[in-house]
């Protein structure tokens, strides 16, 4: 995330100095506000996480308050699914933004309740909505597994529908395809991990770390920035996934954000 922020900052400096390619690569208007919001909640979330991780006692217990954890997750998914809701609209005007905000707020509320119910009973929620492996003798263990599994399944159904539904049934802008595929893969790994955990398999810890630190931690900022950039091009009439399309010569930009 810090790398994406630095990259955008450098592009702004280059654009202000008259670099045409840098100016064409910058995300514009409401997309910039969305990107900075995601950056803000990501960096803010790191503060309490670092604080409570530093305070971790000799017993290794991570005692971040459930309310804080639930608010962090609700804020993240308010932004993540809010982007998807926005890209389902025919435009990016006030009406589309208001409706996207409304549905994102509802989903953020669901996320808050799900995370709070799990964390308040002593199960760890970190960079993925995944319950920590605990003794099955705990009466709330299976309930926590069920909450996490149901949550991930809902996201899989949502993003799976966006990926596979034909355009004649569901309007979606081109930028939404890659975005939905990314979250479908991420949530697919999550639910697979939860299923293996529920039957007592121990090795999924490596899979969880891969999903947490690489798929989410490294790829998520890139995917979001790329998605917003692609939608910018779409509204400028220059989006095309084909390098040999008729509008390819009009495509400006630099590096991985060229399209």
Q: How far is CA 202 from CA 130, 149, 207, in A?
A: 14, 18, 10
Band of pLDDT at residue 182, cut at 50, 70 and 90: very high
CA-CA distance, 55 to 71, in Å (whole number)?
20
pLDDT for residue 102? 94
pLDDT for residue 59? 52
pTM as predicted: 0.78
pLDDT at 68 over 90: no
**Interior CA angle at 30 toward 172 and 259, to 5°?**
60
pLDDT in tens, 115-164: 898 888 776 554 334 444 444 455 666 677 778 778 888 999 999 999 99
- Give the count of beta carbons closer than 10 Å to the beta carbon of residue 198: 17
pLDDT at 58 over 70: no
Average pLDDT of the segment spanning 26-45: 82
pLDDT at 187 over 70: yes
pLDDT for residue 65? 82
- Give the count of beta carbons closer than 10 Å to the beta carbon of residue 183: 23
CA-CA distance, 237 to 253, in Å (whole number)?
15
Domains of the chain and any CATH numbers: 2-131+138-239+249-257 (1.20.1070)
Mean pLDDT, the chain, whole residue set = 76
pLDDT for residue 168? 79
pLDDT in tens, 195-211: 676 566 555 566 777 77
């Amino acid at each position: 995330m810090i790398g994406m922020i630095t990259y955008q900052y450098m592009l702004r400096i280059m654009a202000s100095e008259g670099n045409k390619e840098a100016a064409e690569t910058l995300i514009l208007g409401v997309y910039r506000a969305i990107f900075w919001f995601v950056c803000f909640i990501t960096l803010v979330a790191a503060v309490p996480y670092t604080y409570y991780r530093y305070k971790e006692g000799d017993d290794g217990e991570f005692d971040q308050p459930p309310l804080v954890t639930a608010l962090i997750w609700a804020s993240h998914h308010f932004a993540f699914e809010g982007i998807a809701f926005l890209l389902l609209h025919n435009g990016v005007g006030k009406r589309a933004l208001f409706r996207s905000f409304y549905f994102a707020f509802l989903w953020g509320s669901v996320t808050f309740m799900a995370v709070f119910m799990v964390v308040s009973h002593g199960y760890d929620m970190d960079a993925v909505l995944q319950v920590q492996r605990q003794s099955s003798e705990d009466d709330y263990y299976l309930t926590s597994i069920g909450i996490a599994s149901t949550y991930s399944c809902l996201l899989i159904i949502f993003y799976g529908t966006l990926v596979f539904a034909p355009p004649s049934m569901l309007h979606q802008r081109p930028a939404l395809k890659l975005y939905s595929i990314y979250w479908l893969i991420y949530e697919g790994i999550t639910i697979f991990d939860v299923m293996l955990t529920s039957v007592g398999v121990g090795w999924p810890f490596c899979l969880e770390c891969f999903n947490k630190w690489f798929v989410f931690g490294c790829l998520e900022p890139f995917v979001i920035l790329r998605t917003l950039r692609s939608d910018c091009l779409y509204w400028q009439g220059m989006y095309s996934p084909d390098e040999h399309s008729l509008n390819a010569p009009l495509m400006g930009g630099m590096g991985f954000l060229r399209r």
